[in-house]
Amino acid sequence: MRMSKMVGRRLKEDPKDAVTVSHKFLLRGGYIRPVSTGVFSMLPIAKRINDKIENIIREEMNNIDGQEVLMPVVLPAELWEESGRYKSVGPELLRFQNRNGSDMLLAMTHEEAVVHLLRSEISSYKQLPAMVYQVQTKYRDEARARGGLIRVREFTMKDAYSCHESQENLEEYYLQAHEAYVKIFDRLGMNNVLSIESDAGMMGGKVSHEFMAICDCGEDTIITNSDYTYKANSEVATANWIYNTDEEVIPLEKVHTPDAKTIEEVADFLNISQEHTAKAVFYVTDEEQLVLAVIRGDIEVNEAKLKNVILNANLNFANDEQIRAIGCEPGYASPLDIDFEKVTVVFDNSVAKSINLVAGANEADYHYKNFNFSRDVKVDTDKYIVADIATVREGDLCPITNTPLQITRGIEVGNIFQLGTKYSEAMNFNILDNNGKAKPVIMGCYGIGVGRAMASIIEQNNDNYGPIWPITVAPWEVHLCALNPKKAEVKEASESLYNQLQELDLEVLFDDRGEKPGFMFNDADLIGIPFRVVVSPKSIANNSVEFKRRGEKNGDLVPVEQIAQKVAEAIKAEYAKF
RNA sequence: CGGGGUAUAGCGCAGUCUGGCUAGCGCAUUUGGUUUGGGACCAAAGGGUCGCAGGUUCGAAUCCUGCUACCCCGACCA
């Protein structure tokens, strides 16, 4: 490719709207252009990278016996009504009508479509296991798209669906899929991707893993110990919290605590540590049901965990009015003196196990000292819940190794789920087993966001000047620069080299524009091709050219007659690393 | 959906508070010339519904009202 003819310009300055590194470089380098919030066009450079990412994924999917298919993006609502998701999924599913007034949708995932496809093709256990996958557009009407390609509304995803006769067979295949994913991210040059167990969310199913590309701009919070033997999404992470279980239980005592509403004020006023307090946090569900979370004063409630415990997906903080309506005093609310009929009470383990905590007295300006859960909560155990609803903090102790936990951020670039029979049962996807008995197919599904992977690769491979593409996904393998191509000797040598490199089947981007060196080199850095060859009047006078690696400051002079071979070898050696 | 911010040439911005001549600057683009190892120089040129709609005024990028789009934080997220 000649740069003089390449569509897509590079920008000198950072676009004001871009914040993350990948977003800045994707815009500045002429990779993508925004069309609408979370909707982008890809220019030729990005398209080439995109295709390479897709092809690596295809190869690994084929290696685990995947068969590529293609399903539509526009689906009839009836299909999603079969699974129940037409109603259960919120406004992130884009619904519309066609000219006949039929309800249609833009697929945000393809379980329904794949079951529709396979249920008429697969009817015997002899045809299993089977896996089909596609690389297809998805549309999700995200509440908030952000960060360039990191979180978008329209995107390309590789989604794979496997079918099995037994749970054991699914589990066996699931491990293979996990292996394939590890290989894929290795080959994409993402050197820091963690697979962590996750919550299955709306997909249903039991076991699932998220593949997290570790980087500061990631949206997900991941809790790990130092050797990664423990790793979990913050939504499910737990810790080995230390509770004061050794103290002598002493009698309740009501104390005057004027104007001490917050935990900090109470602890300061009574001159105790926050670990010796219990706080009461009120939530309200969409159905107006009050929920009281009681947790040790120094620990924050983890709303994701709380939602799982009470089996309700929508929680908001309750206001003072709502709290008073059930007879509590905001700021001084207490698990004592509370009407357990009117409010769902969830005690965190920290409160259930600690001794002699300070808790509210349900009366303005008063607290109780020496609250003890086992002694003071006198209602039947079925009136409340004790669970882990605590947010893990940096430095809390690992539940496995007891070493301090760390908090890191990650981008979810892929996930794998053991779906089970959720869709096959709902949509009547059955096979006959070897006894001639009909049973639902057991399924797994496996996704990777292609554009998100591209952004993540940049997040993990860049310097101040631009991305540093791994050879496996680089838009071209070598960047040839002709410095001052008006000089006949430079033009001749660079054109000849361009031909030689192409004859060696190398992918060459040829900067034939005759720009100033600095201009050209900055563009080259933004395009981030791993190898660069510069032909200049000076070097050619010595019958040599400069050969440099992206990311290294200085290159080597190489005799002109050796350079093509040397480039080919370097590229080959580079591929061998993946 | 809540909070904050922005909208003037392809990109980055000034001008808006305090209304006033023909709307400006840098980069980019075109032409001619000089230049060529980390974003050159000289000369000339093209490029604008000042986000949209309405209003106030002799006069609106600037003041008023309504709307829209985009970005950031939060909520949400197979």
Check residues 61 to 90 of chain A and report those whose beta carbon is under 7 Å from nucleic acid strand B.
Answer: 90
Query: Is the distance from CB of A497 to CB of A535 less than 8 angstroms?
Result: yes
Which protein residue lies nearest to nucleotide B70, measured between its Cα and the C1' atom? A37
The residue among A400, A431, A459 that closes a domain is A459
Name the nucleotide with the smallest C1'–CA separation from A415: B78
Q: Which residues contact A374 (CB under 8 A, 6 or more apart)?
A: A352
Q: Which residues contact A71 (CB under 8 A, 6 or more apart)?
A: A107, A110, A113, A114, A117, A134, A136
Strand B contacted by A24 CB (< 7 A): no
A442 and A513 within one domain: no
Inside any domain, residue A95: no
Q: How far is the CA of A23 from the C1' of B34 (A)?
A: 38
Check residues 241 to 260 of chain A and report those whose beta carbon is under 7 Å from nucleic acid strand B.
Answer: none
Q: A281 forms bridges with which residues in the sheet?
A: A293
Q: Tell me which amino acid residue A305 is.
A: K
Name the nucleotide with the smallest C1'–CA separation from A313: B76
* Three-state secondary structure call for residue A185: helix
Check residues 546 to 575 of chain A and report those whose beta carbon is under 7 Å from nucleic acid strand B.
Answer: 546, 548, 555
ipTM over 0.90: yes
**Separation of alpha carbons A18 and A148, rounded Å:** 7
A538 and A429 within one domain: no
Half-sphere exposure of residue A448: CA atoms within 13 angstroms, side-chain side: 32
Task: Sheet with A103-106: list strands edge to edge.
Answer: A74-76, A103-106, A95-97
Q: What angle do CA A150, A154, A157 make, to 5 degrees?
A: 75
- Could you tell me the CA-to-CA distances from A321 to A293, A331, A438 in Å, in that order? 17, 12, 56
pLDDT of residue A69: 97
Residue ranges in chain A whose pLDDT is less than 70? 199-206, 313
**Separation of alpha carbons A504 and A478, rounded Å:** 12
The bridge status of strand A66-68 relative to strand A130-139 is parallel
pLDDT of residue A199: 62
Both tokens of residue A127? 């045809």
Q: How far is the CA of A46 from the C1' of B9 (A)?
A: 27
Q: How far is the CA of A139 from the C1' of B52 (A)?
A: 28
Strand B contacted by A206 CB (< 7 A): no
Strand B contacted by A28 CB (< 7 A): yes
Inside any domain, residue A9: no
Name the nucleotide with the smallest C1'–CA separation from A89: B78
Check residues 521 to 540 of chain A and report those whose beta carbon is under 7 Å from nucleic acid strand B.
Answer: 521-526, 534, 536-539
**Separation of alpha carbons A405 and A28, rounded Å:** 37
A452 and A507 within one domain: no
Name the nucleotide with the smallest C1'–CA separation from A36: B70
**Separation of alpha carbons A475 and A302, rounded Å:** 43
Strand B contacted by A423 CB (< 7 A): no
Inside any domain, residue A53: yes
Q: How far is the CA of A464 from the C1' of B12 (A)?
A: 19
Both tokens of residue A226? 């130092």
Q: How far is the CA of A14 from the C1' of B56 (A)?
A: 40
Strand B contacted by A464 CB (< 7 A): no
Q: How far is the CA of A15 from the C1' of B11 (A)?
A: 7
CA A221 to chain centre: 10
**Separation of alpha carbons A330 and A408, rounded Å:** 35
Strand B contacted by A418 CB (< 7 A): no
| Helix intervals (H) in A217-341 | 263-270, 303-310, 320-325
A308 and A382 within one domain: yes
* Phi–psi pair at A272, nearest 5 degrees: -125, 170
A377 and A333 within one domain: yes
Q: How far is the CA of A275 from the C1' of B77 (A)?
A: 34
Name the nucleotide with the smallest C1'–CA separation from A315: B75
Query: Is the distance from CB of A375 to CB of A209 less than 8 angstroms?
Result: no
A45 and A119 within one domain: yes
pLDDT of residue A27: 94
Check residues 134 to 153 of chain A and report those whose beta carbon is under 7 Å from nucleic acid strand B.
Answer: 138, 140, 142-147, 151
CATH, residue A526: 3.40.50.800
pLDDT of residue A205: 53
Inside any domain, residue A395: no
Q: Indicate the number of domains in chain A.
A: 3
Q: Which residues contact A573 (CB under 8 A, 6 or more apart)?
A: none
Strand B contacted by A197 CB (< 7 A): no
Name the nucleotide with the smallest C1'–CA separation from A516: B36
Query: Is the distance from CB of A61 to CB of A68 less than 8 angstroms?
Result: yes
Q: Which nucleotides in chain B have some atom under 7 angstroms from a protein Cβ?
A: 1-2, 6, 11-13, 26-28, 35-40, 69-78
Strand B contacted by A16 CB (< 7 A): yes
* Three-state secondary structure call for residue A93: coil
A308 and A368 within one domain: yes
Half-sphere exposure of residue A129: CA atoms within 13 angstroms, side-chain side: 21
Q: Which domain holds residue A427?
A: 19-71+106-230+408-459
What b/e readout covers A162-198, taking b as 16+ CB neighbours within 10 angstroms?
Answer: bbbbeeebbeebbeebeebbebbbbbbbbeebbbbeb
**Separation of alpha carbons A177 and A304, rounded Å:** 28
Q: Which residues contact A503 (CB under 8 A, 6 or more apart)?
A: none
Q: What angle do helix axes A44-63 and A450-460 make, rounded to 10 degrees? A: 110
What b/e readout covers A255-267, taking b as 16+ CB neighbours within 10 angstroms?
Answer: bebeebeebeebb
CATH, residue A431: 3.30.930.10
A521 and A451 within one domain: no
Q: How far is the CA of A37 from the C1' of B49 (A)?
A: 23
CATH, residue A365: 3.90.960.10
Q: How far is the CA of A455 from the C1' of B49 (A)?
A: 36
Inside any domain, residue A13: no
pLDDT of residue A285: 82
Which protein residue lies nearest to nucleotide B11, measured between its Cα and the C1' atom? A11
Name the nucleotide with the smallest C1'–CA separation from A150: B77
A259 and A127 within one domain: no
**Separation of alpha carbons A417 and A174, rounded Å:** 8
A451 and A498 within one domain: no
What is the residue-wise DSSP string for A315-358?
Answer: EEEPPHHHHHHTT--TTS--STT--TTTEEEEEEHHHHH-SSEE
* Three-state secondary structure call for residue A47: helix
Q: How far is the CA of A28 from the C1' of B41 (A)?
A: 26
Inside any domain, residue A425: yes
pLDDT of residue A127: 97
A426 and A352 within one domain: no
Torsion sign (Cα): A193, A204, A124, A119: negative
Name the nucleotide with the smallest C1'–CA separation from A157: B78
Both tokens of residue A453? 């992977």
Name the nucleotide with the smallest C1'–CA separation from A537: B36
Name the nucleotide with the smallest C1'–CA separation from A14: B12
The H or E element that residue A118 is part of is: helix A111-118
Q: What angle do CA A167, A168, A173 make, to 5 degrees?
A: 95
A512 and A414 within one domain: no
Q: How far is the CA of A425 from the C1' of B43 (A)?
A: 77
**Separation of alpha carbons A26 and A23, rounded Å:** 5
Inside any domain, residue A82: no
Strand B contacted by A156 CB (< 7 A): no
Inside any domain, residue A7: no
Q: How far is the CA of A13 from the C1' of B5 (A)?
A: 20
